[in-house]
Amino acid sequence: MPDGSYAARYTLGRLAAERKGKEKEKLHQWFVGKILIVDARIGGLNNGVLDNKKGDGFPTADTDKGWSEDAGFRVRRAASEGYEGKEDDWHFEDDFILRANGDGNAEEWLVIEHYRSAAQSEDARSVSRPQELGQHQSWAEQKAGDIASKIGLSGPAAEALAVAAFLHDEGKRASRWQRAFRAPHEKDEAGAYKIFAKTRGPINQQILDGYRHEFGSLPYAEAHPGFKALPEDWRDLVLHLIAAHHGQARPLIATRGCEDAPPSALEERAREVALRFARLQKRWGPWGLAWWEALLRAADQQASRDNDKGLAASRGEGK
């Protein structure tokens, strides 16, 4: 439609069907004023319109690699049997199911990928080179320490930021998250499957079922010795930073997909998330609390960028 909204889809077979009289005129009138998008494989395009004297393909995101790189994104098909075409410069952004089997399980996706650092969403920035959870959190902890030092934080404030960075992704230990993000099936020296924080995807949203790993990270954080060693008021901030590091928990966060406690306990946890936000808003003010949130996000994103660039050799391990 002229306003950009979707009107209809026609196959070549449907368009080629013979029409006479009023039916032919009706089809002609239907196309008047519409924006027509055709498959690039049709060819015969000249200055944006059909021209039967032109047979060359027109450069588009589907056919021209440079176009996609300049635009910063590409769209392609992916099958359930694997993530074909793994390339270091291209990272998962989002996907849409194209085809499902009789059981309702997805078999083919339309995958949107961003080029290098052009990610548009937090979830997309968290999907890159495969990286184990422990390593990512250690890198994030180190980045948090660097940030704290540069801006003059010390004592409990610096320690709270470091603890939040080290524990922020613990909820990714959930089997649901590992399966939904298609974590590599690799075992450690003890024979146990490795836990990953970064994967190549694509994400199976059906398996994820709305699960927020930030929400699942909270009980892990509360049980950690480093967290328990903090003063009580700083522990409150750490829990909020973990819950809010992808923009949730301001004040609400979903309990869906979380299986680490009964529904009633999950509801109570979510209620405390909202109350904690209110307490911390009162203590730090809206901009002060947002500032703290930005510090953890910066540490997380810097650690993710190092992983994207393959800087594993330059990073040490944390706690």
Tell me the DSSP string of 127-138: -SS-EEHHHHHH
Angstrom distance (rounded) from CA 166 to CA 161: 9
Q: Is the pLDDT of residue 317 over 50?
A: no
Domain contains 103: yes
* Greater pLDDT, 291 or 29: 291
Average pLDDT, the chain: 84
CB 199 within 8 A of CB 181: yes
Instruction: Give me the pLDDT at residue 315, please.
Output: 46
| Residues sharing a CB contact under 8 Å with residue 291, sequence separation 6 or more, in sequence order | 284
Domain contains 42: no
Whether 116 and 137 share a structural domain = no
- Band (312; pLDDT cuts 50, 70, 90): very low
Give backbone dihedrals phi and psi of 29, rounded to 5 degrees, phi first: -65, -30
Whether 148 and 229 share a structural domain = yes
- Band (151; pLDDT cuts 50, 70, 90): very high
Whether 231 and 252 share a structural domain = yes
Number of separate domains in the chain: 2
Domain contains 49: no
Q: Is the pLDDT of residue 54 over 90?
A: no
* Greater pLDDT, 47 or 250: 250
175-191 tens-digit pLDDT? 999 999 989 999 999 99
**And the tokens for 146?**
């660097």
Whether 190 and 303 share a structural domain = yes
Whether 265 and 150 share a structural domain = yes
Angstrom distance (rounded) from CA 225 to CA 140: 18
Angstrom distance (rounded) from CA 238 to CA 229: 12
Q: Is the pLDDT of residue 75 over 90?
A: no
Domain contains 10: no
Q: Is the pLDDT of residue 285 over 90?
A: yes
Angstrom distance (rounded) from CA 179 to CA 80: 12
Whether 227 and 243 share a structural domain = yes
Domain contains 34: no
Domain contains 31: no
Instruction: Give me the pLDDT at residue 17, please.
Output: 87
Q: Is the pLDDT of residue 235 over 50?
A: yes
Whether 139 and 283 share a structural domain = yes
Whether 161 and 194 share a structural domain = yes
Nearest Cα residue to 198 out of 97, 119, 106: 119
Instruction: Give me the pLDDT at residue 254, please.
Output: 95
Peptide bond into 202 cis (omega under 30): yes
Whether 220 and 281 share a structural domain = yes
| Residues sharing a CB contact under 8 Å with residue 181, sequence separation 6 or more, in sequence order | 127, 172, 196, 199, 201, 203, 204, 208
Whether 164 and 273 share a structural domain = yes
Count Cβ atoms within 10 A of the Cβ of residue 205 and give its class: 0-12 exposed, 13-18 middle, 19 or more buried.
middle
Domain contains 306: yes
Domain contains 296: yes
Last residue of a domain, one of 104, 122, 140: 122
Last residue of a domain, one of 122, 153, 187: 122
* pTM as predicted: 0.67
Angstrom distance (rounded) from CA 312 to CA 319: 17
Whether 155 and 300 share a structural domain = yes
Peptide bond into 251 cis (omega under 30): yes
Least trusted range by pLDDT, from 47-56, 107-116, 124-133: 47-56
- Band (305; pLDDT cuts 50, 70, 90): confident
CATH of the domain at 169: 1.10.3210
Instruction: Give me the pLDDT at residue 4, please.
Output: 61
Last residue of a domain, one of 122, 146, 164: 122
Domain hosting 89: range is 65-122
Whether 238 and 309 share a structural domain = yes
